[in-house]
Amino acid sequence: MATDSAIVREVGLRDGLQIIPTFFPTPAKIAWIEAELAAGVRDIEVCSFVPPKNIPQFADALEVTAASLAMPGLRPSALVPNLKGAQRAVAAGVPELHFVLSVSEEHNLRNVQRTTQQSIDEFRAVLELAHSQPTPVRVSAALATALGCTIAGQVDPGRVIELAHVVVDAGADELSLADTVGYANPAQVRAMFDRAQRELGGRVPIAAHFHDTRGLGLANAYAAAEAGIRIFDASLAGLGGCPYAPGASGNIVTEDLVFMLESMGIATGIDLGRLVEVRRIVAENLPDEAMYGQIAKAGPPKGFAQAA
């Protein structure tokens, strides 16, 4: 029996695909979700409710959502950048919204054309909408650029914690701290998540979102795990990036993260072998994209056993 477990949330279909101009065919998206679910990945961010004219990749958000809702055992979620997106997502039946606002004012203006304060006001409206549904919709508040910003540079940790309190006080069901552009180092991560966990961990679950832009993604995930974090975003094959943060490419690799956690005795409920096989769907549909990840190449160590 597992004494420790974690949620690994696949965000490749959203954070991975959003920067990729090639349209990933809708049936292939659905096959990807099905295959990951079959491997044991129950938490999948399946799409983004951004205006399709901004990111055509998500023009099929309604179809992908509908298909996801029909998969027993899946806990689908979707990114929403604003109230309008939340309205569309709620109408589509998405049970969990990820509302993103950037701690860095400059990044927020670039990313969603709002000041941070405007995004906070919008977040309150999203919460009101989501929580007033007959079956309340969960809302996670994702604080982007929480560990650095390509425009502003360093981000004040005090400001991150201040905003974290604001969104949790407002009623967020989850707090997510994101190293959107791959700036974080593990000592910084440890300090930040220690503080967030201490001040807010008793009130909401806290998730960690890392990019491997500068090679420290899994070191940062380990540091967050040491701080007690047990919800991690990751992308199959490390797809992903931020369209407004040049050079930021690649979420941490889902397969490698699962391998790390399972090796550490933290059960994910995900079958590593089956998960690695899902890469084929990505490779077939994005033959020109770089596929990251080491465990798919090297295979697990001799005698490797998943946490159970």
| Chain residues that interact with a second copy, rule: CB under 8 A | 148-154, 181-183, 185-188, 212-216, 218-219, 221-223, 226, 247-249, 253, 256, 259-260, 263-265, 293-295, 298-303
User: Smallest distance from the beta carbon of 266 to a second copy, in angstroms?
Assistant: 8
Q: Which is nearer to a second copy, 204 or 295 (CB)?
A: 295
47 labelled catalytic: no
Which lies closer to a second copy via its Cβ, residue 4 or residue 284?
Answer: 4
Nearer to a second copy, 112 or 216 (CB): 216
Least Cβ distance, residue 87 to a second copy (angstroms): 36
Minimum Å gap between C-beta 62 and a second copy is: 35
Question: How far is it, in rounded angstroms, from Cα 270 to Cα 141?
Answer: 25
Pick 182 or 240: Cβ nearer a second copy: 182
CB of 78 within 8 A of CB of 10? Answer: no
Q: Which of 192, 242, 253, 286 is catalytic?
A: 242
- What residues act catalytically? 242
